[in-house]
Structure 1
């Protein structure tokens, strides 16, 4: 039979042994040192000058003095000398100056939960359940990077499933954002937790945005998608241009407005029945229409009005009419309204 126990090396009292109390007390001392193991520190390199009886330390690499050569061991001051207990795999110890528990892996002391940890449910200051397997009650939750970037991943099995963030008031839904029921991204809101309205949706295949409820815009719009080159497929909402023939305003809907510069009309003196007219002048639109536009205009001279020949897609001819012969027709301004596609 061995003289010591298999795990803690406690000495056995032998048959016919004298002074059995010595062996018994030795075993008690070992139990006192190792059971419910709690040490002062694992980072002190040199034995303290006046340690308290029973004080325990885990010795770091490079420990000096009476501790030298016992790195990793548990050292206990017995009142007169240090005793050293080499750890065995699985031993646990609480480190007082770090307020954490360690475990001996067989090669080193490491954090009790520094390796992979899997639990079925985890509640932090609140109860977790089978649906909410991770539950946290806190004023804030911080997820930060470990070096550079950080991603929060919400994964769903199929497109028709839901992966979203739900915001609640009194456990009743008020807003939700994510991919709910499809791979399109949407933001929905609710006033009562039962009736929902989609405020914004982004199509997964094209990236196109939709505002099903409309939008109220309180500040100015800007950017090339607002004012730029319009087209029938993809372009700006509004386009403005200017040439020597005037200015144009083109909308993505197909409507276009052309404004002429100030055109000086000469004498209105050519008889036209009982009226008088000026010589015809050409106006080339600053941008071409797809079909003949509607032409309107005004003349600054009293008692005169404008006339024009058949409107074409690129321009028209204009004249000024009057009830009387005038040597100066004045200034005329023209507007053409039509479609650019």
Structure 2
């Protein structure tokens, strides 16, 4: 027959044992600490100056002073002395400092149900796979601030690679926004998700916009033909405003005072 219990290491009373009350009281002391276990702090390394009877701490790495050499154990202050207990997998403890339950997982204390720091794949409402390691099926996805701004970053390994967002219909891509094969911002469109046409380019160095132009040389650089839809003079014009007058079939520009025909 073993001399201690398998789970809580409680000492057993042995046949013909003298002073059985000592063993019995030791077992009660351990039960008093471990049943409804409450821990003052986890990963503690420095013993408190004035511990109260029955208080317990979960020791971390590098415990010092009276806790030296007791890393990973539970330290309980009982009858003016430290009682050290080795936790076992599955033990539960109330974290007094943070107000939550922790469980011992064999190598450390964890918060049950806590989100792990790293997972290979995550599917929310759908299955993730090797290519789409994060997959979400939802009517909407919200990314919001935590008190200030919020930035979403899409990073690629090198200039020839692609960092973009594709907009699809029935799993066929029809629009793409991002850095596609270069470091200039591009907007591309596709009829079939295979052949893509670059509709707009914003040069990374100058901010120049090219419509149908891969390397815009002016703030606005348009390939071949620019069409201005005919219409009426806009209200509250300013110098530099340009429009094609539908009534007079004239291209007109405002000089800051009046409209001028350009031809």
Structure-1-length-normalised TM-score: 0.39
Structure number with the bigger relative contact order (C-alpha 8 A, sep ≥ 6) is: 1
Structure-2-length-normalised TM-score: 0.49
- The structure with the larger Rg is 1
